[in-house]
Structures are given as structure tokens and as C-alpha cells.
């Protein structure tokens, strides 16, 4: 009887110890999930470190193994959260003492990882990484709304206890249309003609007229020029380097006025000389790549100038087409966005083979970029 009771006691004690070990493991994996996997997972893997599995954690990253089973004090993970070395993690805050004291016995116990994978890091909430989802069109505002967009506007107004404004009178409506599409006000004669036009398509005719106006590209092309950091001047001293930058400005305006497809618009800017080598107009978009950091005033710094130019290629391309800045990854992995320094230089490698070439301006004259009277003989334009 005594032996049976003793045996039962040891079985119960083993069960209690097993439960405590499992609890420590679960808490440790939860700490990794909540504090580490945003930067150190299969998706991000900053510094080459993936803490989503035991195997990858033991393997470690660029600094070596993150965990040495049975030796917490020798484990880089524990050193980092304890902040006993220059490598302090998490970077923006110290881990709670209670959490640190969970990781220590867990590592001392051999870092058990019964679940081969810790819960994945939360999906990024950055807007540029979200898959577009077509929302359901509201059913309210049927009589007031003229299109699906109006229904969303009406729904938001109703949610806030507001009513739609009264319809604009014809002069106000025309003025709004002009400012929206061309940025210019209508003349008195144009307002009078619109007010006196009884036809049901009077408004749509004005829309078509303004979309066909050269001022449309001037108004809406300006937004694109802002995105790609265009300017007519580089601050006087360096204006000689952008003497022909206005050609890119006119190319953007013409692209909008000609309803150029967006995919063609992008190709011409990023690699027009590769996609359309026989089309000088297409290469005008690519040529704007040359307008950026320039240290040609110092001939002995040509290597630095080229590196700064390649950096500008990556930074501008990412901010315009990816919806986020990637410049920080030039020096270090991003802390919150999944952009590593390795990825940054992979993108830079795409542009690395570029070589500046020259295109005679008279090739552009016949295409409407410049009148023959203004062509300076033998003047050449650099494009990248």
C-alpha cells in the first residue's frame, strides 16, 4: 500500500512538472511571436535570423546561433533581451522582466519546441500591402445618387447625421469642372454658353471638351511631377545639369493628353531605352533618371557620384511605384516594413548596368518636342 501511494505521488509530481514545462514553453513561444517575429521570421528574416522554428533559431543568423540549449547566458537571444551586450532587442523597448524570466528557464531546459512552428507574425497593416477588395455598394440614397460613388458618399453623410448639399447652379457647376480638369476658370462667354445650352448632354460635352484640352495634361501631369521630385531648377549652381529637364515635363504632359496606357507610361520611365530603343520619345521618360545627385564638379569622385545616382534610382522608384520609402534599407534592415538591406541592393543591381548615352535633339524635333528654330546645332542630351 505504501509503495502504491509513493508511486502515485511520483506520477502526480511528474505530471505537474510536465504541465509547468509545457506552460513555460507556450509562454516563451508567445513572447517570441509578440516581440520577435515581426522582424525575425521567414518573411522578414532580418540579419538572416528566423525565430519561427526551433531549427532556424538554433541555426541563427549573421551573428551565429540565437539559442544555445541549456545555456541561457551563452544564448544571443537571452543576451539581447537582457541587454547585456551592444545588441539590445527588441530595439524600441525593453522586454518586461517577467518575460525575460520566462525565457531563461525555457532555454536552460533545452528550449523545448513541441510545436514545430510558433504562431506566425501578424499580417502587415501597411496599406500598400493590402489586397484590393471591391466593397459592396450601399443601397441607400437611390433617388439622390447618380452613380455608385454617390451611394458611398450618401451613406457616410447619413452615418454622421448630415444631408447632401443642394445641387450647384450651372455657373458654379461649370466653374468646378474647369478647375478640376484644367485648373483654369471658364471665360464669361463659356459660362454664358453653358447656361443657355438646353441640351441634356450639355455637361458631358464640356467634360469631353476639357479632357481633350492641352491644359488637362498640364494640370494633372503636375501631380506626377511632384511624385518623381521634378523641378525646373536645382538651386542655380547646378542648373547646368538639368538644362533639358523640361523635356521630361513636356513628355509627362503629352502622356496625359494622349491617354498613354499606364503600363507603357511606367516602362518608358524605368527602362524606355531597353523596351523601345528606336523610339526617342519613349527614351525621354527614362532620361529623367539622370536628374538627381550629381557630383561631376569633382572628377575624382566619379565612383561616389555613380553610387549616389544608383541610390537615387532605387529610392525614387520605390517611393513612386511601391507606395513606401525604402531609403533606410540602404544602411540597415527596416525595423517594421519587410525590406531588408539585402533586398535594397538586389533592386539596385537591376539598375547597376546602366550607361549614359546621347540622343541628338533633332530626332525629337519632328516629334513635336521642339521647333526647328530652337534647336541648337549639335546639342546633345544625356539619357540613362
pLDDT band at 212 (very low <50, low <70, confident <90, very high): very high
**pLDDT tens figures, 273-304:** 888 888 878 888 887 766 655 555 556 667 77
Going by pLDDT thresholds of 50, 70 and 90, the confidence category of residue 193 is very high
- What average pLDDT score do residues 71-84 get? 87
Q: Is 361 in contact with 380 (CB distance < 8 Å)?
A: yes
What are 82-132's pLDDT values in tens digits?
888 888 888 877 888 888 888 888 888 888 887 544 344 445 666 667 788
Q: What is the pLDDT of residues 161-180, one digit of tens each?
A: 999 999 999 999 999 999 99
Res 366 pLDDT > 80? no
pLDDT per residue as tens digits for the range 12-25: 333 334 456 777 88
Half-sphere exposure of 128 (CA within 13 A, CB side): 11
99 exposed, middle or buried (CB, 10 Å; 0-12, 13-18, 19+)? middle
Q: How far apart are CA 77 and CA 223, in angstroms?
A: 47
Degrees to nearest 5, angle at CA 138 with 134 and 146:
100
State the pLDDT confidence band at 201, using cuts at 50, 70 and 90. very high
Report the alpha-carbon distance of residue 54 to residue 50 in Å, rounded: 9
Which residue stretches of the chain are H helix?
A: 2-35, 54-59, 76-82, 97-108, 148-159, 170-181, 188-195, 202-211, 214-227, 246-257, 262-275, 280-287, 302-321, 341-351, 362-365
Beta-carbon contacts of residue 58 (< 8 Å; ≥ 6 apart): 65, 66, 67, 69, 111
Going by their DSSP bridges, the two strands 380-383 and 357-360 should be labelled as: antiparallel
d(CA 73, CA 104): 8
What are the C-alpha distances in Å from 258 to residues 181, 222, 247, 251? Answer: 15, 15, 16, 10
Euclidean distance between the first and the last CA atom of the chain, given in angstroms as a whole number: 91
What mean pLDDT is reported for the chain?
A: 80
Cell 575624382, residue located: 300
- Please state, in angstroms and as integers, the Cα–Cα distance from residue 106 to each residue in 22, 24, 71, following that order: 10, 6, 10
Domain boundaries, the chain: 2-122, 258-383
pLDDT, tens digit, for every residue of 345-358? 999 999 888 887 77
Comparison of pLDDT for 290 and 153, the residue scoring more: 153
- Grid cell locating 93: 523597448
CB atoms within 10 A of CB 252: 26
Q: Is the pLDDT of residue 324 over 50?
A: yes
- The angle, 0 to 180 degrees and rounded to 10, between the axes of the packed helices 202-211 and 170-181 is 20
pLDDT over threshold 80, residue 308: yes
Amino acid at each position: 500500500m505504501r509503495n502504491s501511494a509513493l508511486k502515485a505521488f511520483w506520477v502526480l509530481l511528474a505530471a505537474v512538472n510536465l504541465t509547468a514545462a509545457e506552460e513555460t514553453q507556450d509562454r516563451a513561444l508567445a513572447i517570441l511571436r509578440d516581440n520577435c517575429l515581426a522582424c525575425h521570421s521567414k518573411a522578414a528574416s532580418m540579419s538572416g535570423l528566423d525565430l519561427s522554428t526551433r531549427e532556424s533559431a538554433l541555426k541563427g543568423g549573421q551573428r551565429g546561433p540565437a539559442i544555445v540549449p541549456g545555456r541561457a547566458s551563452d544564448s544571443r537571444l537571452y543576451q539581447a533581451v537582457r541587454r547585456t551586450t551592444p545588441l539590445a532587442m527588441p530595439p524600441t523597448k525593453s522586454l518586461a522582466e517577467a518575460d525575460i524570466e520566462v525565457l531563461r528557464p525555457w532555454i536552460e531546459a533545452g528550449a523545448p519546441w513541441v510545436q514545430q512552428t510558433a504562431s506566425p507574425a501578424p499580417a502587415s497593416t501597411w496599406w500598400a500591402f493590402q489586397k484590393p477588395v471591391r466593397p459592396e455598394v450601399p443601397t441607400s440614397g437611390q433617388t439622390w445618387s447618380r452613380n455608385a460613388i454617390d451611394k458611398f458618399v450618401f451613406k457616410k453623410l447619413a452615418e454622421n447625421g448630415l444631408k447632401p448639399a443642394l445641387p450647384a447652379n450651372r455657373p458654379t457647376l461649370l466653374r468646378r469642372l474647369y478647375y478640376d480638369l484644367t485648373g483654369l476658370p471658364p471665360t464669361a462667354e463659356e459660362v454664358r454658353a453653358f447656361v443657355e445650352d438646353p441640351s441634356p448632354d450639355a455637361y458631358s460635352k464640356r467634360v469631353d471638351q476639357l479632357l481633350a484640352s492641352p491644359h488637362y495634361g498640364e494640370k494633372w501631369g503636375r501631380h506626377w511631377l511632384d511624385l518623381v521630385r521634378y523641378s525646373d531648377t536645382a538651386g542655380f549652381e547646378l542648373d547646368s545639369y538639368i538644362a533639358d529637364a523640361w523635356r521630361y515635363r513636356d513628355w509627362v504632359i503629352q502622356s496625359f493628353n494622349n491617354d498613354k496606357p499606364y503600363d507603357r507610361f511606367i516602362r518608358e520611365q524605368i527602362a524606355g531605352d531597353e523596351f523601345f530603343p528606336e523610339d526617342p520619345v519613349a527614351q525621354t521618360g527614362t532620361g529623367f533618371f539622370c536628374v538627381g545627385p550629381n557630383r561631376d564638379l569633382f572628377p575624382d569622385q566619379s565612383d561616389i557620384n555613380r553610387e549616389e545616382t544608383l541610390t537615387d534610382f532605387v529610392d525614387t522608384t520605390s517611393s513612386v511605384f511601391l507606395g513606401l520609402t525604402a531609403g533606410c534599407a540602404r544602411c540597415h534592415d527596416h525595423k517594421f516594413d519587410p525590406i531588408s538591406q539585402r533586398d535594397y541592393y538586389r533592386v539596385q543591381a537591376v539598375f547597376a548596368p546602366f550607361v549614359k548615352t546621347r540622343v541628338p535633339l533633332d530626332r525629337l524635333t519632328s516629334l513635336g518636342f521642339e521647333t526647328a528654330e530652337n534647336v541648337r546645332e549639335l546639342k546633345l542630351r544625356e539619357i540613362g
